[in-house]
Amino acid sequence: MKNIFKLLITGLFLINTAAQADEVRIVDVKVHCQVDCTFSVTLKHADTGWDHYANQWDVVSLDGKLIKSRVLYHPHVNEQPFTRSLSGVSIGKDIKQVKIRARDLKHGYSSQEYLVDMPE
């Protein structure tokens, strides 16, 4: 019985790890602000082609409101990880942090969110 329990727990762990492995990962974020801000976001994802690729990342307020999105229009099968930028992002001076979230066509939004401190 003990071995069955261990096997069950191991199997659940492997299933959970595999599901997370298929999600897009945010590897790095850089932000530069003058009047508006430019975000450069590095993503890693096992793009397989037009049916399964990382297709968007968003700048989101801490209370979950969408500030601006960067849509990705094609797969990056042979370019991993990859960085794409988004300029013209208006962030209020009172906002000290934002979140970056990313999605792919197959799984939707990743469970990972990347917290970014805004430059002063």
Q: Which domain CATH number covers 56?
A: 2.60.40.150
Q: Which residue in this structure is represented by tokens 């037009």?
A: 50
- What is the domain range of residue 56? 2-117
Phi, psi of 61 (to 5 degrees): -70, 165
Confidence of residue 12 (pLDDT cuts 50, 70, 90): very low
- Residue 6 is encoded by which pair of tokens? 């261990």
Helices (H), the chain: 2-21
Please count the other Cβ atoms lying within 10 Å of the Cβ belonging to residue 10.
Answer: 10
Q: How many domains, in total, are found in the chain?
A: 1
Phi, psi of 104 (to 5 degrees): -130, 165
Question: What pLDDT score does 18 carry?
Answer: 38
> Distance between CA atoms of 2 and 35, rounded to whole angstroms?
62
The string of pLDDT tens digits covering residues 44-80 is 988 777 888 888 999 999 999 999 999 998 877 777 8
